[in-house]
Structure formats: C-alpha cells, structure tokens
A and B are shown apart, each in its own frame.
Chain A
Amino acid sequence: MSDTGKQMMSPAMAAERVAAGLAARRGREKRFRIYGRIAIGIALAFLVTLFVSIFSKGIPGFFQHYVTIEVALDRAKLDPAGDLSVQSLYDGDARGVIRTALYEAAGASGRSGRKAAGKIISQGAEQRLRNAILDDPSILGTTRAMTFAVDDDVDSFLRGFIKRETPEKDRRINDKMIGYIDVLNDKGLISFRFSDYLVFGSASRNAEMAGIYGALVGSILTLAVCLVLSFPLGVATAVYLEEFAPKNRVTEIIEININNLAAVPSVVFGILGLAVFIGTFGMPRSIPLIGGVVLALMTLPTIIISSRAAIRAVPPSIRDAALGVGASRMQTMLHHVVPLAMPGMLTGTIIGMAQALGETAPLLMIGMVAFIVDVPGSVTDPGTVLPVQIFMWADFAERMFILKTSAAIMVLLAFLILMNAAAIVIRKKLERRW
C-alpha cells in the first residue's frame, strides 16, 4: 500500500487542528441545544396561554349573579283559571308578581323608576316562577323568598365590566338601575353563585339564561349513534382486512381508500351528509341521527386502523394454537384473537369518539347549527351539539356569552380529557405484553 504518493496527516497535527476548532464547535452545540429548548418553550407557552385564556374566562362563567326577593304568590294573579294547568299559568301574570316584589325590594317608584328596576331581573324569572308552582302548587298563596337570575347587563355591571364611571349614555344600564342595584346589594339580596342556567339551561338568546344542557344531550345522542355504527363496522372491517381478505386488487383498493378517508378534511364529510342524506334521501336537517352517521363515517378510518394494529399485535402463536386443536379460522378469530385485541380496539374507538365529540364543521353542514331551544328527546329530534353550541355562542358579543362559552369549552375539554384518560387506563390495564 505504500505505493501511494499522498501522505497522511500526522496524528499530532490532526489533534492540533481538532483542538483549534473546538471552542467554536462547542458554541454551535450550545446554540443548537438552546434552539430546541426555545421551541419546546414556545409550544408550552402556547399551551399555557390557551388554557389560561380559556380558564380565566371559563371559571367565572360557571357563576352568575342572582337576586333574592320576597314574592307574594297571589293565587288569583298566577293561576287565573285555578286548575294549575300550564295554559292557566301562562295566562297568569307571573311577570307582574315578580316585578311588584322587585319594586318593593329595590324601592322603585314612578314610571321610569319601575321601568329601570324591571330591567334588572332576567326574562327567565317568570318561567322559573311557573316551574316552581308546577313543582309544588302548595306554595301558592304564600309569600316566599325566591331567587332569580339578574339580566346579563346587570351581571356585567356587578362583575365590573360595565363601569360606573362611564358616562350614562355610553353604558347599557342607566344611573337609575345602578341606584336600584346598589339598594339590592346593600340589603344583601344579590348573590354570586353557581350558575344553574349554564348546566340545566338550553339555547337562549338571553345570555343569563343560556345553558349547555340541550347541546350536551345532543352530543350524547350523536355520539351514541356514532358509536353504535362505527365500532361494529370498524372492528368487522379490521377483522376482515387483517384475517380473511384475500390479498388482491380489491383489498388493496379498500386499504388505500381507508387511508385516504383518514386524510379527507372533516368539512367534506359534512358535504357528504348534506348531499346524500339530506339532499338525496330527503332526511330532515339538524337531527343527531344524521350527525352520528356522518361522524361515524369520519371516525371509521381511525377505528379500523387502530383495530388492525391491535389484531396484528396478537402473536401468531395464539392463532396457531387454536387452529392446531381444530378450530376453524372464524372460531379462532372470534374466540381468541378478537378478545385479545379488544383493549387496543377499545382504545382506538375511544380516541375516535373523542375526535367526534370535538368535531364541528361537518355538523354545521347538516344543519345542527340551528337555534333549537328544546332538548332533543331522541335521535330524530332536532338538536345541536356542544362544539356547535360553542361556535354559536362565540358569535355573540355579550360579555356573559364570552364567559359561558369559555365555561362550555371547559366542560367539553373535561369530557375529552376524561375520554383520553380512559383510553390510557384501558391501554395500561388490559394491554398484554407478549
């Protein structure tokens, strides 16, 4: 080998040159490491900002101001027909009864004074009074302390978003109202407590009455439809493709198809629902049934892909053992492989359901964005879902809607975290290491 003309650099010289460059290289190393830290810092800072921004508004959103007044429940005024029917209660003058009590408590007098005081209490108060009577008719004829939500502008004032110092014409509540609010406050009649409207109320254009109950029920119904369809279909498809499907062109097309479906933007599934179920089949809009079907088609790829991975993770020795004692392929599958793969399948399904729970765009397309006051009783009643409710509320400018939207987001996030935690627990608990 010594026939080469070129000389190697001596180790000593090489070491010298290496040493010369070291400081600069260490500097570059340090900088690179810092870039990585900065990147992670940015990502975590975003996360913190997002959660702080939601939680700082959402936690106050779980509470609202209520006023407690002594209401004289005059039977003749409230139940003119005297039969305690809903119709009779509606014909009665619940509003007048409440207002009278309010004027008394706030010391309001005069036409303008009463007008101002009347605006303090929520429009939902009458319904609440009627419900109280329906629940317990024996309260009629007595005088009771009853608690009603205040109007959302009053609530904003009490929270300090509407400032006393603002000139009267620029704020949504006038000086007279502020005076009465002060009176009520001094008497200790105004309280800040957990918002029952948020949890038990439904869609309402009045911020103080708005709640997520209807949307929550809608979400549950929609998810139920989604689960009932996507879980069996997803598992059946995974079993077929993984264990039985002949390896041919058709199977290949199905597999490519599933991968492509996983990449299709969710809004396109909404278009599918709109064009096929509503357009072609003429099904009604806004119903959880179609929402569930659309979400099921959307989550199917997720479930199929994770179920296939779970089946693949079952070692061949289990199959060989079952086949070896004379079980048919189907028996091997149903008695041995599927039960063993079940934790993985369930995990994938829960993650798919969590995706479906947070999905908004496709449901907008099939009309679940309609303003629906009634709580859906079945999958064919018009309804909405939690994310869509959040979307709709986000459009309203009222301060209280912003708070309630954030609170609704917290509820949604709580469900999502719960589902993901469940998936992790199932994976940890039931997963077998081979």
Chain B
Amino acid sequence: MAYSKKVVEKFENTLNEPEKNSVGRWDPSDLDIGTGMVGAPACGDVMRLQIKCKPEKNSHVISDVKFKTYGCGSAIASSSELVDMLIGKTLEEAREIKNKDIANALDLPPIKIHCSVLAEDSIHKAIEDYESKL
C-alpha cells in the first residue's frame, strides 16, 4: 500500500512520540471526560477517543484529547489527525468535523476512507458520552 507522505509522517510521529501526540487515556468515569470507542478487533481497527471538556459561555469546549488506536497505519494516522482538529473546538464545532476533512488532510487512498469514517464516528460517540453525564 503506497501511502501519502502525510500518512507516513503522522503515523511515525505518533509511534515515536506518543505522549506528544496525545496518546493515552483518562479514567472514563470522570465527569469532564467523554469516551468514544468504535470499531471491532475482528475488523482490524478499534479507536478509543477521549475528550476533556469544560463549560464555556453557552457551550462546552474541548480542552484536551487523548486516544489509542489499534489498526492499520492510516487508522492510527486518522485518529492522530483528528486530535489536532479537536483541541479548542466547541462541541458544536466538533460535530461538524466530517470524515472527508480527515481524508483530505491525509490524502487517504480510497480503500482507506473507512478509517476516516471511523474517526468521525468516534467524535460523535465521545460527545454523546460526555453529554450523557451533564
């Protein structure tokens, strides 16, 4: 599989400097944490996205993100790319992020588009989880 330079760079940076690239986890029971886990081991990819949120004005803002991903190189790159997009956004803005944004940012090959779809799903799940605790 010939990946774009962006996928390879994102993957390698995440692999070699996990902490700097938001790899990690928080206790999912914390009230300011929303956790979204998508995918399945049998399908070859599982993403766990966690957002740390704080109320601000009439909304809630994502102040920090952590993730872990089991999957192919483009799945790992997609979740890492998503993290960059999320920090500082309100939940409303975060909901607007589409898989296309991630796919375009990384030049994903067509056969790997599902990795970006999975990343998009993980945001929605994480926001849903956070809001259920409010």
A and B together in one complex: no
- Chain B interfacial positions (CB closer than 8 Å to A): none
- Chain A interfacial positions (CB closer than 8 Å to B): none
